[in-house]
Amino acid sequence: MTIELLQQVRVIDPVSQTDQVSDVLITNGEIQAVATQITDIIPDTQIRDCRGLVLGTGLVDLYSHSGEPGFEERETLSSLLQAAAAGGFTRVSILPDTSPVIDHPALVAQLQKGIGREGGISSLSSSSFCLPRLNIWGAITLDVAGGQITELADLAAAGVVGFTDGLPLNNLGLVRRLLEYVQPLGKPVAFWPCDRQLTSNGVMREGADALRFGLPPIPVSAETSAIAALIEIVANIGTPIHIMRVSTDRSVELIAAAKAQGLPITASTTWMHLLLDTKAVKSYHTSLHLDPPLGNPSDLQALRQAVRGGIIDAIAIDHAPYTYEEKVQAFAEAPPGAIGLELALPLLWQNLVTTGEFTALELWQALSAKPAECLHTKVNPITPHHLAEITLFDPQKTWQVESKNLHSLSNNTPWLGKELTGKVLQTWC
């Protein structure tokens, strides 16, 4: 029997909407007691002084990219789960754009068996970190090519968490049929609204900075026109949807109006779009080449307000690992994306909570309870008689972002070589 007592830890529970300092008693992975002070301590209890530390519900990632299968030099499932655990995540959801694409039940079963076989946390202390739950998104179309719809019912039966291509779907007739087909399955369906014809060869959000840096621009309408069309279809069909990768202030306005009408829509933005704007691209660091691109300063402020106000429900990580060779190119030629599972919590805490712009509860809700709700699931509250799915975080601990300190196989991040404040110490699943 393992009995742990976390003394005077700051408990942040977005489920019960509490943020308070308490003692927390955990027995064999189940929360036994949460109280101002626990004095009835039995022998062999492992007592830990947690003053200054934060204990929150486990973080939930809505969507990230896995290198495996097909691109194991970027990331394996094992390294992905290790990175997620080190970042405080107890659930990770991978997109279907692997090779082969996750568009058939057999591959879903293969990935599930692979996780059970590998274990996934070999380089982490097994006593400190648990194996995160792997959720698998099933593809909407075969080979994520935007053509033929997959066997949705078979994928649902195989255990996918929901359906998405993770790529733009510009065939609105297909989108309409999909929303009709998917209704009886009760699974979330996620779209990345983006008009590739309007995007053209752009790599940076249209505006003064794009002109200043001499990079091909992407107009706001590439995102907003696709969102507007998607909202109209939802209004007609009524199937709930999730809108991924929201990145502009006008998109926030459209989503807010749709929610005000009572349409069944949830939305997410990515963590980097809440931290950086177009001014950061001045460095031409290829890990700042994102898709959708970083927004203008007005976009960043609108996204932050939308997360706080619940217009944007969740913060996604959209972890996208690439090899050194793939990223060492001209800005416009490098593939878009950056890693983030190990970096998101400390950087968001440092830039949003420490500055007072977000409350700790607001940030934790957007990284934990709300992403789970977008996946039609729930996280356990930090209350007695619930299984412990929790994360212990030290907001004051400093560490260096270096390859040797990262569990991801890739290190494509603009924070490489920088010192961060905030480190996850332990997770329970």
Long-range contacts of 151-159, Cβ-Cβ distance < 8 Å, separation of 24 or more = 151/104, 151/105, 152/178, 152/181, 152/182, 152/185, 153/185, 154/104, 154/105, 155/103, 155/104, 155/105, 155/108, 156/185, 156/187, 157/105, 158/105, 158/108, 158/109, 159/108, 159/112
Burial 123-155 (b: 16+ CB within 10 A, else e): ebeeeebbbbbbbbbbbbbebbebeebbebeeb
Q: 210 near 220, Cβ under 8 Å?
A: no
The catalytically annotated residue of 13, 97, 291, 318 is: 318
Structure tokens at 93: 């959801």
What is 218-232 written as a DSSP string? E-THHHHHHHHHHHH
Whether 195 is catalytic is: no
What is 257-322 written as a DSSP string? HHHHTT--EEEEEEGGGGT--GGGGGG--GGG--SSPPPPHHHHHHHHHHHHHTSS-EEE------
As annotated, the active-site residues are 318
